[in-house]
Structure 1
């Protein structure tokens, strides 16, 4: 990894919403429709955040029928650093468990 790659990787996670996305993905793989509920954002807005994270290779996508399931890229050169940084952050107010309790957890399979 060179200086430019490091800068691009860190810039991609410098947004609060992208940090939240990564925090959620540190727990489990999720679909964009779940992020719309968790972050109270539109699907296009979340897709833009996902595009930036994917370009920086922080996340991976897996197609399941018409759904795309997102997960952290464990092969990223800074994966261990990312996990350490995410562990320092508080847990988000909304959780996947709260979506389940509210009946808003989507089964994207």
Structure 2
């Protein structure tokens, strides 16, 4: 199967988006499971508006799937996204230290809605 080709402008836009450490960490987290915004706020120790802004940028680029359950919004990685193969490659080449730390926080009960 031939990989989809992207223009230089498209690729640089994608890379700029995920170059932000917080957004990249969000991608690592939602690659493993679906998270509620409130869980991400607790785990990242940043404000809800800041988390929502990062999530919106990733969603606008079609990298995230948003699901609304009652008043809560949950996010997961969009494996059908146009740039998924690029994101997958980056995630596969990244260290898991930050994601492991945040998952440890979750297990301690610090990441709950």
Same-fold call, TM > 0.5? yes
Are 1:62 and 2:67 an aligned pair? yes
Summarize deviations over 1:38-79 as a string: whole Å, max 9, x none.
Answer: 111110010110111111111110011111100111111221
Matches within 5 A, 1:24-35: 24-35=29-40
Matched residue count: 106
TM-score by length of 2: 0.82
Summarize deviations over 1:2-38 as a string: whole Å, max 9, x none.
Answer: 4433332222111000000001011111011111121
Which structure shows the bigger proportion of residues in helix conformation? 2
Are 1:105 and 2:111 an aligned pair? yes
Gaps of 5+ in 1: none
Distance 1:85 1:69 in 2: 23
Gaps of 5+ in 2: 1-5
Are 1:8 and 2:9 an aligned pair? no
Shift of 1:89: 1.6
RMSD, matched Cα: 1.7
- Residue 17 of structure 1 is aligned with which of 19, 22, 29? 22
Shift of 1:100: 2.5
Shift of 1:97: 4.0
TM-score by length of 1: 0.85
